[in-house]
Amino acid sequence: MQEISLDLRHLTLSALRFGNPNGPKVLALHGWLDNAASFVPVADYLNDWDVVALDLAGHGHSAHRSADAHYHLLDWVQDIHEVLHRLGWSSCHFLGHSLGGIIASLYAATFSEQVQSLTMIEAFGPLSLEPESSVTQLRESVLSRLAIDEKPARHPPSLAKAITARLLAGDLSKAAARLLVERNLVEQEDVLMWRTDRRLRTISSLRLTEPQAQAFLAAIQCPVMAVLGEQGFEKVRNNLNRRRELIAQLSDVNAQGGHHVHMDNPETVAEHIRCFWQQVASH
């Protein structure tokens, strides 16, 4: 597994690259507050593909956005467009978990000619909000940004305590939590510090409406597979059920596990992914 850096126009992103450098190209995008290590458990099962697992801006080893910027969902689409250019890839398969799956779905709709297939793990298009909630959403977003600047940075006392805190926050196994936490921490002058930009925890300024979200999904032209954890997020399953008719070439599978099913049940999830990519290649 190789650590790589990608210099974009305004920031530098890091990534983990694994598999066969001569194989079909795959861009893997992790979930909110996770990082590229999210895909380490499936790496051993995807040896025939050239996989670049990206640290999204503000996550893992990647740079933070500038002080006058924020983490708007749609801005990640531009990041991905630049990443493909820097990699020299004209097209690739997309593999996204949670937030990464949402970003990948937006990209697949917007730049369909560059997406050979789309696999969304515990995601099915953008989260949406009723239009009448937009005013309150923007107000809460601005206030959350101002509030976080006033809070002192928190430092975990030890790696073990940081892993324990991550376990309490979600459905991860201890091994999976360790992978994510280790990549999200850095030691400076004997003090552990989070690499993650804490501005990621602020409230989004705007969300798409359901008709807008559905318009993006309806514009996707490539084959799509949704992988859901049997104990995953109910919101994701609800989105799949109400939006499935929008995708012309859709398959969906369930696997034992929760929201991070690809980390805690990597062999099963990777088998679904392999079969899907092989099926896409055969057509």
On whether residue 125 sits in a domain, the answer given is yes
Over residues 115-141, the mean pLDDT reads: 96
Residue type for 43, please? Answer: A
For residue 151, name the pLDDT band (cuts at 50, 70, 90).
confident
pLDDT for 28 equals 99
Average pLDDT value over all residues in the chain: 95
pLDDT for 190 equals 80
β-pair type (25-29, 92-97): parallel
Over residues 17-34, the mean pLDDT reads: 97
On whether residue 180 sits in a domain, the answer given is no
Q: How many CB atoms are closer than 10 A to CB 282?
A: 6
Is the pLDDT confidence value at 150 over 90?
no
Over residues 130-141, the mean pLDDT reads: 95
What are the catalytic residues? 98
Over residues 52-79, the mean pLDDT reads: 96
CATH number at residue 226: 3.40.50.1820
Over residues 154-173, the mean pLDDT reads: 87
In terms of residue numbers, what domain contains 234? Answer: 2-132+209-282
For residue 22, name the pLDDT band (cuts at 50, 70, 90).
very high
Instruction: Provide the domain count of the chain.
Output: 1
Taking the model in full, what pTM does it have? Answer: 0.95
Is the pLDDT confidence value at 124 over 80?
yes
Give the bridge partners for 93, in sequence order: 26, 117
Share of the chain above pLDDT 70, in %: 100
Contacts of 207 by beta carbon, 8 Å cutoff, 6+ apart: 73, 126, 127, 128, 129, 134, 137
Over residues 250-273, the mean pLDDT reads: 97
On whether residue 187 sits in a domain, the answer given is no
Over residues 168-187, the mean pLDDT reads: 90
On whether residue 254 sits in a domain, the answer given is yes
Is the pLDDT confidence value at 170 over 80?
no
Contact present, 231 and 237 (Cβ < 8 Å): no
pLDDT in tens, 67-123: 989 999 999 999 999 999 999 999 999 999 999 999 999 999 999 999 999 999 999
Is the pLDDT confidence value at 156 over 90?
no
Alpha helices in the chain (DSSP H): 40-43, 75-87, 99-110, 134-150, 159-169, 174-184, 210-218, 234-243, 261-264, 266-282
pLDDT in tens, 184-230: 999 887 889 999 999 999 999 999 999 999 999 999 999 999 999 99
On whether residue 146 sits in a domain, the answer given is no
On whether residue 194 sits in a domain, the answer given is no
On whether residue 137 sits in a domain, the answer given is no
On whether residue 112 sits in a domain, the answer given is yes
Over residues 40-58, the mean pLDDT reads: 97
For residue 149, name the pLDDT band (cuts at 50, 70, 90).
confident
DSSP assignment, residue 271? H
